[in-house]
Amino acid sequence: MVVLDLSPAPCASASSRAHPKARPGYGKRSVPAQRPLHEGDFTLLPERERHIAGYVDALPDGAAMDIKSLARSQPLYGQMAVGSALRALGVAGHLRHVRCLSGENGENGGQVRWVTRTFWSRTARDNEWWNAFLTAEERHPAPQEAAEATAPPTPWVPAQPAACEVDVASVPAQPPVTTVPQQRTTEPEPVLMPEPVPVQCTTEPVSVPVSQATAGCPSPAFLALAHLGRADSRLALSATDCAALEQAAAEWFARGVDADYLTHALTAGLPASVDSPFGFVRRRLRDKLPPRLPAASPAAPGTPVRRLMVECTECGAPGRPEAFRDGLCRPCREPGPA
């Protein structure tokens, strides 16, 4: 006999470090029409999902929602457990991972960028509600979110020392200082240096290997691949691997994505172990290559260029909202025979 555990969601354990905020435009976004907070929220979920749901629900909008940050900020569950809990919360209707194309026509040289957001609902929603909400979000994005996504980060300014207030009356009078005119000394005779001998340079160009030419100034694609191992040790690549995959990763950047988008797409839904990080990353670079988006229409100047793609909670594959059910794409909902 199955017994439902109807105990309230456990309180999120205190952590020694504060939960980090995501970059401007990224992170958690609460959906509208939320019901008031109640101790009976998430009672139908298993204990692990109740704990993660209660922790995420207490986070403010804009908090980092990646698996690594969530696992680091609460001590009970690791990255694999947090990833499984987020997948279960997506199936239960509490969250959707979404990639939004953010930018304004004519601003920043016409450049746009992808931002990854996690829409969160304390109330479990069905697929029809999520599809309608995401469709409306794509057509009419919230103005504060659009402004936040395109705002540059605030530069850090060091604090200026406070001016000292001195009581003039309390300072003893100093005796007048007598200035003595300086005597002009004779200038030393200049020392004659031998003229430099000109060096003859050959007009033939010197060929530099590509690896040495790019070593001093690596491309954004190379840097993104090099940082994969820090995001997840299962995808640690060598310098030779990064150089071999640099062209494939550069194609992603040519289609308007940034390093965060690429890292998230390559590290989402990793298996328990990766035998060949090079082959795994090469296949994902080919299979998950984002589509080329058409140029913005000049008919409505000043209108935000906005596209929205839902991300599979399991494998991270992007697609239209109607192609997902319970936050999962078709291959993840209907896995083939083993």
| C-alpha to C-alpha distance for 98 and 116, rounded to whole angstroms | 6
- Which pair of structure tokens corresponds to residue 34? 């939320």
Task: Please check whether residue 117 is in contact with residue 100, taking contact to mean a CB–CB distance below 8 angstroms.
Answer: yes
Within-domain flag for 323: yes
CB atoms within 10 A of CB 221: 22
Half-sphere exposure of 201 toward its Cβ, with a 13 Å CA cutoff? 4
Within-domain flag for 67: yes
Within-domain flag for 303: yes
- Please return the burial class of 28, using the count of CB atoms within 10 Å of its CB with bins 0-12, 13-18 and 19+: buried
- Which pair of structure tokens corresponds to residue 77? 């569950």
pLDDT over 90, % of the chain = 27
Within-domain flag for 34: yes
| C-alpha to C-alpha distance for 237 and 228, rounded to whole angstroms | 7
Query: What's the total number of domains in the chain?
Result: 1
| C-alpha to C-alpha distance for 226 and 236, rounded to whole angstroms | 8
Within-domain flag for 25: yes
| C-alpha to C-alpha distance for 224 and 259, rounded to whole angstroms | 6
Closest C-alpha among 41, 114, 13 to residue 316? 114
Range of 6-10, 68-72, 197-201 with top mean pLDDT = 68-72
If one compares 237 and 75, the residue with the highest pLDDT of the two is 237
Tens-digit pLDDT profile for residues 268-308 = 888 888 999 999 999 999 998 888 876 544 444 554 444 68
Phi, psi of 313 (to 5 degrees): -65, -25
Task: Please check whether residue 85 is in contact with residue 69, taking contact to mean a CB–CB distance below 8 angstroms.
Answer: no
Reported as a pLDDT band with limits 50, 70 and 90, residue 1 is very low
Please report where in the chains the tokens 């439902």 appear, as a residue. Answer: 4
Please calculate the CA angle 60-61-67 and round it to the nearest 5 degrees.
85
Closest C-alpha among 53, 95, 92 to residue 74? 53
- Which pair of structure tokens corresponds to residue 267? 């590290």
Reported as a pLDDT band with limits 50, 70 and 90, residue 52 is very high
- Which pair of structure tokens corresponds to residue 187? 């200038």
Within-domain flag for 162: no
pLDDT at 14 over 90: no
Closest C-alpha among 337, 320, 333, 331 to residue 130? 320
Annotate 231-263 with DSSP letters as a single string.
H-GGG---HHHHHHHHHHHHHHHHTT--HHHHH
Tens-digit pLDDT profile for residues 223-260 = 999 999 888 889 999 999 999 999 999 999 888 888 88
Enclosing domain of residue 319? 15-151+291-332
Tens-digit pLDDT profile for residues 23-51 = 887 899 999 878 788 877 888 899 999 99
Within-domain flag for 184: no
Within-domain flag for 219: no
